[in-house]
Structure 1
């Protein structure tokens, strides 16, 4: 979800205004996913690199996230959304971590939409942390390295139990993955949209799904 800052800059507004407008796009995206029958949705809300931004902006972002969890959670629960946070949640303060846990507990039984929120997430870090957990499992004898395969390794990633993405959408006209789900997106279809995230809505979601539907997915196999 990219383009909040540029959206605000174009309107001569503070960057936080773009982040607030981006929260509205999150609501529209979730509703579009539910309306389209999508079962799994992952939103890249805060990268591990975002901690390098100015302290004030980081504070505004985390404050907005806390506000969203407190005020939108009941509606997500009513809509049948199951929420799960992936990423380095230990980098957030205790109050925020408690919010994550409360949201996950409340929505754990919901099945209409599985919503993953990536917070303080980085694809390289995810792979590194999985490797360290795997190494420890091998050390204590819980894993036989001679029998390890890709599926076995994936169980150590933060996305354990979550299917690999079929479609990855990048907004704001950028053409890069920006360290998101690097292992998991090996065979994802990529769609790049020239729309800033705060302007993203149901028509853009439908456009991305339409582009995906017209792709010929072969997963490395030769054409039929």
Structure 2
């Protein structure tokens, strides 16, 4: 039986987040420049997005470019930004055909003007799609996002709109860039690395984490199905004990 057929549609994670890692190593293993890996990762992005929409996942968030990635060699950053512009333009039809809405989180103003324009156009075109929301985390860092949330809440306290006693987890969540989506229930990281890399630190407090050795350009729907099956076979206790969950 194929993995997809083993998935329980009633136990799907509503929100899956993916750290897409391994493009550079994939290219290096083939004797090519790192950008070759980034170009070949587009198929994996399409497989993940279409695969999630196909089985009924409502939200998919992909870590595409971090705040720390700006420290990479300028030639690689320029190539990545060019690729971003090209890819968004080409994939709008795929998004529309699959009923996928595109959103973005992160410091988008740091992106080149052409990338910002193409991203804004794609988000506008897909804004009424209801099947799934695909979020690209671009120039994103969880610490920066939480810092901005603290600033915004502090301004409201200073203006007298709210008091410090009103600050709770729900309020903080409302000020994060992901406030429109439920917290991820499943976080996938490819390439065999076992770290979170400043991604959705607040939101993944209770996410199940699935690390896979496969490099991102090789990721396909079968890998997505494997991660979801692994998720469905875990006992999620949220601080309780097994006996309480089984009651």
Correspondence for 1:25: 44
CA distance in 1, matches of 2:206, 2:67: 23
Correspondence for 1:151: 170
Alignment of 1:173-212 (within 5 A): 173-212=192-231
What count of residue pairs does the alignment treat as equivalent? Answer: 224
CA distance in 2, matches of 1:100, 1:141: 36
Alignment of 1:32-181 (within 5 A): 32-181=51-200
CA distance in 1, matches of 2:116, 2:166: 36
Stretch deviating more after TM superposition (107-116 or 182-191): 107-116
CA distance in 2, matches of 1:168, 1:73: 25
Q: Which TM-score applies when normalising by structure 2? A: 0.88
Q: Secondary structure at the match of 1:169?
A: strand
Contact 2:85–2:114 (8 Å) recurs in 1: no
CA distance in 2, matches of 1:71, 1:141: 47
Question: Cα deviation per residue 1:117-140 (whole Å; 9 max; x = unaligned)?
Answer: 000011111111111111112112
Structure 1 position 218, deviation (Å): 1.1
Structure 1 position 223, deviation (Å): 2.3
Structure 1 position 63, deviation (Å): 0.7
Contact 2:50–2:98 (8 Å) recurs in 1: no
Structure 1 position 102, deviation (Å): 1.4
Question: Cα deviation per residue 1:149-173 (whole Å; 9 max; x = unaligned)?
Answer: 1011111111111110000000000
CA distance in 1, matches of 2:226, 2:217: 16
Contact 2:188–2:211 (8 Å) recurs in 1: yes
CA distance in 1, matches of 2:90, 2:78: 18
Correspondence for 1:223: 242
* Higher RCO structure (Cα 8 Å, ≥6 apart): 2
Q: Which TM-score applies when normalising by structure 1? A: 0.97
Task: Report the RMSD for the aligned CA atoms in angstroms.
Answer: 1.0
Question: Cα deviation per residue 1:10-59 (whole Å; 9 max; x = unaligned)?
Answer: 00011111000111110111111112211110000001100000000000
